[in-house]
Amino acid sequence: MFRVDATGDERRLDALLNRSIPHSLEAEESLIGAMLLSKDAVAEAMEEVRADDFYSTSLQNVYKAIAALYLRGEAVDPVTVAEELKRSSSLDQVSGLAGLVELQASTPSIGNASQYAEIVRQYSLLRRLIKVAVEIADMAYGLPQDIFAVIDAAESKIFELAERPDADGIVPIKDSLSQALDRLESLYENDQPVSGTPTGFVDLDEIIYGLQPSNLIIVGARPGMGKTSFALSLAANAARVSSEPVLLFSLEMSHIELTERLVSAESRVDSSRIKSGKLTDQDWTKISHAIGRLSETKIFIDDNPDLTIMDIRSRARRLKAREGLSLVVIDYLQLMSGRRGAENRQVEVSEISRGLKILARQLDVPVVALSQLSRNLEARHDRRPQLADLRESGCVTADTVVTLADGESRTVSQLLVGDPTEAKLLSFDGQNLRPSQLAKVFFTGVRRIFTVSIDHPFFGHRSVRATSNHPFFTEDGWLPLEELNFGRKVAILAGDSETKVEWGTVSSITAESMEPTYDLTVEDTHCFFGNGVLLHNSLEQDADIVMFIYRDELYNPDSVDRGTAELIIAKHRNGPTGTARLAFLSHCTLFASMARMGDR
């Protein structure tokens, strides 16, 4: 038989895991002693460490007692702390009042409290690092099917450890108010209209105040409107004004194509002449100056056409750790891949949307994702986009009856007037019925409505009134209404008991009039039962801002608005909606503020 020996790395790992856990009992005792002697030391300690940073359980309890007294504005000394510890039956762990007095008396120096706290915090980080390493090792030893998902999870754990030493994420309102006040003072002193990363478009920044950290912004448009050109203009402006890195993921164009477009826009030399190489001496001068300006910016391009949400998160995290980061742009959303093995495309898109929002939160930077819009808008007289035109979104009417998790029901209009977060809806996770939290109900515009009639031989007839792109759950996965046909099987609730999913048959689809439409955001499963039929919620659920690009000249060649574009802010979670007007220079595919049309 072959003899199996552990490798050197494996032996070192085993030895590492068998070592004593890093800690400094001396630093912990000295810090607690200083806190017992001085309120200033308490304040310094509470800024640096939390109770679970202490290795000693008994000292954790003493820290909690001191913190509780301090936050109540009461005196902190061995006697008061002893009384506080009695309430939690923890006094004996520190040898009573005598033990507290001894801690106080043996403190080397009150003035070194911040240094003691730093030592305690650093050892705590080392212990957390070991814990994360063990968790990662456990995941690897588990022989996972999706190795890349494990790598993404491992990177996320390490990144969160480095960025946020406090693992629980709970912030006292006192700390939050202090941070909010600091931010207000900074904005007041700067006296600038933009509080986030500037877009470089004056009219847009006046509405959204710049691209805010941790926000997900979806920019939608029909083909030909200039999504990629807008993304490039946005990236160049942000990189130039913020002087910080901007990361652009391009799933459609190569980095050479994008660079040529950037040079064309920056130099304002006709893009066709750049592609053909037929340049004049004046063109070369402009291009030379443009390249000089662009080379001073920190724009990074990733043109891998087969990117998953995990790839994007991993690469963005690495760039931020190495260079810093002010903005992530993704062109475009429908070309992205989601989790390998996702049940269907609708689930995949929901996971992508949620993953991008998590990325924005983790990195604390704005993430801009471009999105293709449904072609259905071109059938309307006014072709300006609405929320419901996002390709993988849809809407229902106000009279749609939604099934709650407790078996009760509410119409969409009833959910609109109450607090949606108080409701849990009955939903479906792909295999089982389960309750899911309703996050919000919102108006999505006036849209053409279609009635889908569905029949079942035992459970009777039901119908849903929805827009043409609202997704239904079929035997082939999630499909929009416009792709349903007679005889298609769709998921419905079975009878009055509403305890399982059955398959009903589409018997008719009838076009109706224009009506106000609404959508729901459902956490986790992203689906709900409307009139007993399983429906999906929309793509924009995780977005903080949704804006659309509209150029009237594409539909009306003689339009008085030739050379301009409307940027329609249809959703703004933390501010107003509205329309910003931009100049569009078609020869160099450049978007610019109206006031800057004549610049350079």
Is 179 contained in some domain? no
Indicate if the pLDDT at residue 477 is higher than 50: yes
Strand pairing category for 578-585 and 564-572? antiparallel
> Which residues are 434's β-sheet partners?
427
Condensed to tens digits (0 to 9), the pLDDT of residues 211-234 reads 888 899 888 888 888 888 888 888
Amino acid at 473: F
Q: What is the mean pLDDT of the chain?
A: 80
Please provide residue 148's backbone torsions phi and psi, each rounded to the nearest 5 degrees: -70, -30
In a domain, 553, yes or no: no
The model's pLDDT over 367-383, given as tens digits with 9 standing for 90+, comes to 998 887 777 677 778 88
Which stretch of DSSP H or E encloses residue 478?
A: strand 477-480
Which pLDDT belongs to residue 519?
82
Q: Is the pLDDT of residue 254 over 60?
A: yes
How many Å apart are CA 423 and CA 579, to the nearest integer?
A: 34
Residue 474 forms beta bridges with which residues?
477, 490
The domain tally of the chain equals 3
Q: Which domain holds residue 297?
A: 196-372
Say if residue 205 is in the same domain as residue 104: no
pLDDT greater than 70 at residue 174:
no
Residues 332, 202 share a domain: yes
286 and 234 share one domain:
yes
For 96-111, the pLDDT digits (tens) are: 888 888 888 888 887 8
The reply to whether 207 and 356 lie within a common domain is yes
The closest alpha carbon to 504, from 549, 544, 462, 456, belongs to: 456
Q: What angle do CA 313, 318, 320 make, to 5 degrees?
A: 95
User: Is the same domain home to 273 and 210?
Assistant: yes
CA geometry: angle 514, 516, 518, nearest 5 deg? 130
Q: What is the CATH number of the domain that holds 289?
A: 3.40.50.300
Residue 259 and residue 137 share a domain: no
Instruction: Give yes or no: residues 237 and 362 share one domain.
Output: yes
Alpha carbon distances (Å) from 508 to 218, 454, 478, 505: 34, 7, 19, 9
Buried b (16+ CB within 10 A) or exposed e, 515-537: bebbbbbbbebbbbbbbbbbbbb
The pLDDT-based confidence of 186 (bands split at 50, 70, 90) is low
pLDDT over threshold 60, residue 1: no
Q: Classify residue 56: in a domain, yes or no.
A: yes
Residue 144 DSSP SS3 = coil
Least confident of 17-21, 169-173, 181-185: 169-173
Give 84-120 as a DSSP string: HHHHTT-GGGGTHHHHHHHHHHT-S-GGGHHHHHHHH
pLDDT of 410 higher than 60: yes
Domain assignment present for residue 420? The answer is yes
pLDDT band at 499 (very low <50, low <70, confident <90, very high): low
pLDDT at position 126, please?
A: 87
- For residue 190, tell me if it sits in a domain: no
Statement: residue 598 has pLDDT above 50 = no
Q: Does 300 map to a domain?
A: yes
- Per-residue model confidence as pLDDT tens digits over 117-167: 889 888 888 888 888 888 888 888 888 877 877 887 787 777 767 654 444
- pLDDT, position 417: 81
Picking from 100, 117, 143, the residue at the C-terminal end of a domain is 143
Task: Mark whether 273 and 332 lie in a shared domain.
Answer: yes
Q: Report cis status (omega within 30 of 0) of the bond before 332.
A: yes
pLDDT in tens, 290-341: 888 888 888 888 888 877 777 788 788 888 888 888 999 998 777 776 655 5
User: What's the confidence (pLDDT) of residue 489?
Assistant: 92
**What's the CA gap between 336 and 348, in Å, rounded?**
9
1 versus 238: which is more confidently predicted?
238
Give me the CATH number covering residue 104.
1.10.860.10
Q: Where are the beta strands (DSSP E) in 160-286?
A: 216-221, 246-250
pLDDT of 464 > 90? The answer is: yes
Place of tokens 């209009």: 413
The CATH number of residue 448's host domain is 2.170.16.10
Closest-CA residue to 363 (of 248, 502, 212) = 212
Is 411 within the bounds of a domain?
Answer: yes
User: Which of 512, 537, 562 finishes a domain?
Assistant: 537
Checking if the pLDDT of 343 tops 60, the result is: no
223 and 253 in a common domain = yes
Residues 403 and 524 in one domain: yes
Whether residues 368 and 403 share a domain: the answer is: no
| Residue 400: other Cβ atoms inside 10 A | 24
Q: Which helix or strand (DSSP H or E) is residue 257 part of?
A: helix 255-267
Least confident of 99-108, 345-354, 391-400, 588-597: 345-354
Per-residue pLDDT at 505 exceeds 90: yes
Amino acid, single-letter form, for residue 25: L
Distance CA 204, CA 102 (A): 63
User: Domain boundary at 101, 125, 143, which?
Assistant: 143
Least confident range from 84-88, 303-307, 384-388: namely 384-388
Residues 365 and 402 reside in one and the same domain: no
Give me the DSSP letters along 257-299.
HHHHHHHHHHHT--HHHHHHT---HHHHHHHHHHHHHHHTS-E
In a domain, 343, yes or no: yes
pLDDT band with cut points at 50, 70 and 90 for residue 401: very high
Q: How, if at all, do strands 460-466 and 477-480 pair?
A: unpaired
Confidence grade of residue 577 (pLDDT, cut at 50, 70, 90): confident
> What pLDDT, on the 0 to 100 scale, is given for residue 570?
83
> pTM for the complete prediction?
0.59
Whole-number Å distance between alpha carbons of 298 and 241: 11
Mean pLDDT of the region 42-49: 80
